[in-house]
Structure 1
Amino acid sequence: MFKHSQLESVKAWLAHPDHAAMPLHARIQRAIRQLILDGALGPGRPLPASRALALSLEVSRDTIETAYAQLHAEGFIDRRIGSGSFVAEMTEFRPGRGLPTRARFTRNLAPNLSKRGAAVFGSGGVREQLAPLPFAPGLPETRSFPLPLWERLQRQVLKETGAQALLHGDPQGAAPLRRAIADYVNLERGARATADRVIVLTSSQQALTLCANMLLDPGEGIFIEDPAYYGARKAFDAAGLESLPVPVDRHGLMVDRLLSNPHKARAVFLTPSHQFPTGATLTLDRRLALIEWAARHQAWIIEDDYDSEFHYEGRPTACVQGLDPYERTLYIGTFTKSLFPGLRIGYAVLPPQLVQPMTVARTLLDGHTASLAQLTLARFIEGGHFGAHVRAMRGVYADRLAVLTRLLREHVSPFVEPRPPIGGLQMACMLTCDLSERAAIDAARHVGVELLGLSGLYASGRGLPGFLMGFAAYTPAELEAAVRRLASAFHGLMRK
């Protein structure tokens, strides 16, 4: 028979909620197998008779017999007619043999990662909320997306392509989508794109990872805006690059700071149309100066145009890539924010000499983006539906920005100063009281409100306290309810 502790261990397996989806016999089999692997049941040790164990566990004998049969099939036990079941003679290579339980536990908690692996793991990655709360930034309105239209276009694709849409796709991206993207960015963003220079990816984050690993060697420097998009900085850090912060003012990146030490880095990362998170637009003279710097020093400009579709005052400035005659600029875009996050399609417009290297590198990451989604998106763009959706959402988001600004000034003005942007899906708000940024974020979370702190986006550590507040994904009623909860939380903090 089992010792009392062994029997309790099996019962714990049966009751554990993580194992609830397993059939009963599988839970018993796994529990006994783990006792054997841990050395609690040594080679040659007899197992309880199936009838006795069934009584102890209050299960049927057939359940025990099924568990024993699986253990026997896997080689963990021997079954001898007339004698019973015994733990098989394990080899000296049994996992964990000779190691105390604590040592095995510690080994599992401390993986032996490479330096790059440790940097990736240490960064914490880029995490998105599955069920976002107000005011999580960077999220579009998805509830009003024209799903029936999308489904109709997808059915058309399947009808015309059949099983072809289910096979591997071109790692550079489906040709119809690359043509549609090139036409769109040329018309709307003033780019210099052709279909053969577009690579379709799963996200702008994937594009940043490719740039970090393909354009620069570990230890080399890259100029980044300060403050900067956290996902870009993490991608560069994980690749072993030295991120060199350049301050941002109301005209965007302070290019003169970069030009005062032009040889320090071989690339610069920018969000020039709508700087993340300040919302500043890089002026034309600074754009031209960066283009000349990149050409003169054979450096790269990585331009992230993450939400330029949503511009609320006048027309957006032409992208840097369209102004660059030297082809030193990589232009990154995404449909995650203009359509919906679950689409998982982004893209990059590349200098001609980088198309093949980037495509080969992409095959080592995930091969290709799903063909069916690409072909459906191509029809969505070609049919004018993308432009119509963006125009409709631009009006909705402008209204929601105005609502949030008014609500903050009415209810939270003693604590924060809203700074309405000229575009985008989120607004920067500065703390104007003695509350600490961390305390304010924690208090907001307790009342179901999500805030992204601004100070942590500054690599220099000299950022002013405040928050980035998303507004695009939330209705006016949701915004008002969240602002009232936020005001209550802040008033409660001040009374303490």
Structure 2
Amino acid sequence: MFKHSQLDSVKAWLAHPAHAAMPLHARIQRAIRHLILDGALGAGKPLPASRALARSLGVSRDTVESAYAQLHAEGFIERRVGSGSFVAGMTEFTQGWRRPRHDSLRQDSAPPLSQRGAIMFHSGGLHGVLRPRPFLQGIPETRTFPLPLWERLQRQVLKEVGTQALLHSDPQGAEPLRQAIADYVNLERGARATADRVLVLTSSQQAMMLCATMLLDPGERIFIEDPVYSGARKAFDAAGLDCVPIGVDRHGIMVEQIINDPQRAKAVSLTPSHQFPTGATLTLDRRLALIDWAARQQAWIIEDDYDSEFHYAGKPTACVQGLDPHDRTLYIGTFTKSLFPGLRIGYAVLPPPLVQPMTVARSLFDGHTASIAQLTLARFMEGGHFGAHVRAMRGIYAERLEVLAGLVRKYLAGFVEPRVPVGGLQMPCMLTGTVSEQAAMDAARRAGVELTGLSALYAAGTGPAGFLMGFAAYTPTEMEDAVKKLARAFRAVEQRSPP
């Protein structure tokens, strides 16, 4: 029979809220298994008769019998006709496992990661957000997305493709979507793309990881913008690359620093249409100089065109890839910001020699692609709905940017100065008062407002103090409420600061 402590342990398993979703027999089986693995029930020890245990636990005998049957099937107990149930004879290995070990991992101990794993872990990642708080940047408005239209197109796909959509799909991506992407970037971005040069991915972040691991070896140099998009920097750091920061001015990345650098680099990563986070656009002369440098050095240009759809002043410039006659440019785009984050579809337009290697690598990392969402998106684009949605959101975002700039000037004057961009989904603000960047970030978080600090986006973490304010996903009323909270929070910090 069980001791009182053992019976109490089983009862605790039955009553624990975390186990509420488990059937009763599974909870009893898990509880007894833990007693065996922890050494509380040694090899050969008898278990209570099923009828007696059922009475003690207040359950049916069949429930206990089901638990015993599973324990027997897993080899934890032996059942002898006429004698009852006993803890199985444990092997020497299992007994060694049961004993407490001084070198066992604790929850608060440092995990034994590789150098690359440690870099990836400490660089942080995205956190699940059911409804983003103002002013989380990079998030589009999703409440106005035409869901009924999307659902209708998806039903059409399932009706016409049938069960074929449930099977493994093309590792390069569904051909109709690749063709739709090629047509779109050729028309809207001035690219030179064909369907066979498009690789469909889950995100631009996956594209960065592929570029980092497939084009460069650990220790090799890559030029990056300074300040830089943190996602790209994390991908390159995780791959063990030597990231060389190149300054950015109002004309974009300073290409002359790249050309004059005496040491060779294998690649350069940039956001030329709308530099993150400054908003600068790379001028044509610098684009052409960069293309010439890449051709002479046999280097790669990694062009992240992350939110080029949203340009509010004048017409957006053509992408670098469309200007490059030497096929040294990899063009990366995403639908995460133009449509909705849950879609999980991005893409890369690749030089022909890289298509097959990149496709194989993507398959190694991620298996095959998800066809239903891709085929639905292809229909959404072919029917002109994507263009219509982008045009509608461009108008909404331009209005929200204007509203946010006005709110910052009205309520945060003396604390920050807004730098109104010509495009994108976020607005940089430079701190002008006595409140430090860290103090501003901490105060905002306590007030329920999310800000992205600017100085950490610079190579040495010593850039100008300020923050980014995302505006696309928030209504004017939501933004006004949040800006007022910031104003109160900043005033409280200022009042506590010593003179």
| TM-score category (smaller protein) | over 0.9
| Residues 422-467 of structure 1: per-residue CA shift (max 9 Å, x gap) | 0011111122222232332222222221111112211222212221
The aligned residue for residue 265 of structure 1 is: 265
Post-superposition offset of 1:96: 5.2
Gaps of 5+ in 1: none
- Whether 1:197 aligns to 2:197 is yes
| Residues 203-223 of structure 1: per-residue CA shift (max 9 Å, x gap) | 111111110111000111111
Q: Secondary structure at the match of 2:225?
A: strand
Separation (CA, whole Å) in 1 of partners of 2:95 and 2:162: 48
The aligned residue for residue 147 of structure 1 is: 147
CA 1:341–1:88: 2 relative to 1, 3 Å:
same
The aligned residue for residue 208 of structure 1 is: 208
Give the TM-score taking structure 1 as reference length.
0.95
Q: Secondary structure at the match of 2:449?
A: coil
The aligned residue for residue 14 of structure 1 is: 14
Separation (CA, whole Å) in 1 of partners of 2:145 and 2:317: 27
CA 1:54–1:489: 2 relative to 1, 3 Å:
farther
The aligned residue for residue 244 of structure 1 is: 244
Tell whether the 8 Å contact from 1:201 to 1:368 is kept in structure 2 after alignment.
Answer: no
Post-superposition offset of 1:324: 0.9
| Matched residue type, 2:91 | T
TM alignment of 1:290-369, pairs within 5 A: 290-369=290-369
Bigger mean CA deviation after superposition, 232-241 or 429-438: 429-438
Separation (CA, whole Å) in 2 of partners of 1:95 and 1:250: 68
Q: Secondary structure at the match of 1:106?
A: coil
Bigger mean CA deviation after superposition, 109-118 or 218-227: 109-118
Bigger mean CA deviation after superposition, 447-456 or 310-319: 447-456
Separation (CA, whole Å) in 2 of partners of 1:221 and 1:95: 51
Q: Secondary structure at the match of 1:292?
A: helix
Q: Secondary structure at the match of 2:93?
A: coil
Tell whether the 8 Å contact from 1:222 to 1:267 is kept in structure 2 after alignment.
Answer: yes
Give the TM-score taking structure 2 as reference length.
0.94
The aligned residue for residue 375 of structure 2 is: 375
Bigger mean CA deviation after superposition, 462-471 or 107-116: 107-116
Post-superposition offset of 1:361: 1.1
The aligned residue for residue 129 of structure 2 is: 129
The aligned residue for residue 426 of structure 2 is: 426
- Whether 1:454 aligns to 2:490 is no
| Matched residue type, 1:41 | L
The aligned residue for residue 463 of structure 1 is: 463
Post-superposition offset of 1:345: 0.9
CA 1:343–1:125: 2 relative to 1, 3 Å:
same
Separation (CA, whole Å) in 2 of partners of 1:335 and 1:444: 29
TM alignment of 1:62-101, pairs within 5 A: 62-94=62-94, 97=97, 99-100=99-100
CA 1:490–1:48: 2 relative to 1, 3 Å:
farther
The aligned residue for residue 415 of structure 1 is: 415
Tell whether the 8 Å contact from 1:202 to 1:345 is kept in structure 2 after alignment.
Answer: yes
| Residues 359-401 of structure 1: per-residue CA shift (max 9 Å, x gap) | 1111112233211211211121121111111111000000011
Bigger mean CA deviation after superposition, 86-95 or 53-62: 53-62
The aligned residue for residue 229 of structure 1 is: 229
The aligned residue for residue 474 of structure 2 is: 474
Tell whether the 8 Å contact from 2:404 to 2:471 is kept in structure 1 after alignment.
Answer: yes
Bigger mean CA deviation after superposition, 184-193 or 436-445: 436-445
| Matched residue type, 2:454 | L
User: Please, what is the CA RMSD of the aligned residues?
Assistant: 2.0
Separation (CA, whole Å) in 1 of partners of 2:487 and 2:84: 70
| Matched residue type, 1:480 | E
Bigger mean CA deviation after superposition, 314-323 or 428-437: 428-437
Separation (CA, whole Å) in 2 of partners of 1:35 and 1:59: 20
Q: Secondary structure at the match of 2:286?
A: helix
| Matched residue type, 2:368 | H
| Matched residue type, 1:299 | A
CA 1:17–1:440: 2 relative to 1, 3 Å:
farther
The aligned residue for residue 106 of structure 1 is: 106
Separation (CA, whole Å) in 2 of partners of 1:13 and 1:455: 50
The aligned residue for residue 490 of structure 1 is: 490
| Matched residue type, 2:136 | A
CA 1:428–1:43: 2 relative to 1, 3 Å:
same
CA 1:369–1:255: 2 relative to 1, 3 Å:
same
Post-superposition offset of 1:103: 3.7
Post-superposition offset of 1:56: 4.5
Separation (CA, whole Å) in 2 of partners of 1:107 and 1:99: 18
Post-superposition offset of 1:125: 3.2
The aligned residue for residue 439 of structure 1 is: 439
Tell whether the 8 Å contact from 1:227 to 1:247 is kept in structure 2 after alignment.
Answer: yes
Separation (CA, whole Å) in 1 of partners of 2:332 and 2:267: 15
Tell whether the 8 Å contact from 1:47 to 1:85 is kept in structure 2 after alignment.
Answer: yes
CA 1:16–1:231: 2 relative to 1, 3 Å:
farther
| Matched residue type, 1:173 | G
CA 1:144–1:101: 2 relative to 1, 3 Å:
same
Tell whether the 8 Å contact from 2:38 to 2:98 is kept in structure 1 after alignment.
Answer: no
- Percent identity, please: 76
Gaps of 5+ in 2: none
Separation (CA, whole Å) in 2 of partners of 1:198 and 1:96: 54
Tell whether the 8 Å contact from 1:251 to 1:282 is kept in structure 2 after alignment.
Answer: yes
Q: Secondary structure at the match of 2:306?
A: coil
The aligned residue for residue 26 of structure 1 is: 26
CA 1:110–1:42: 2 relative to 1, 3 Å:
farther
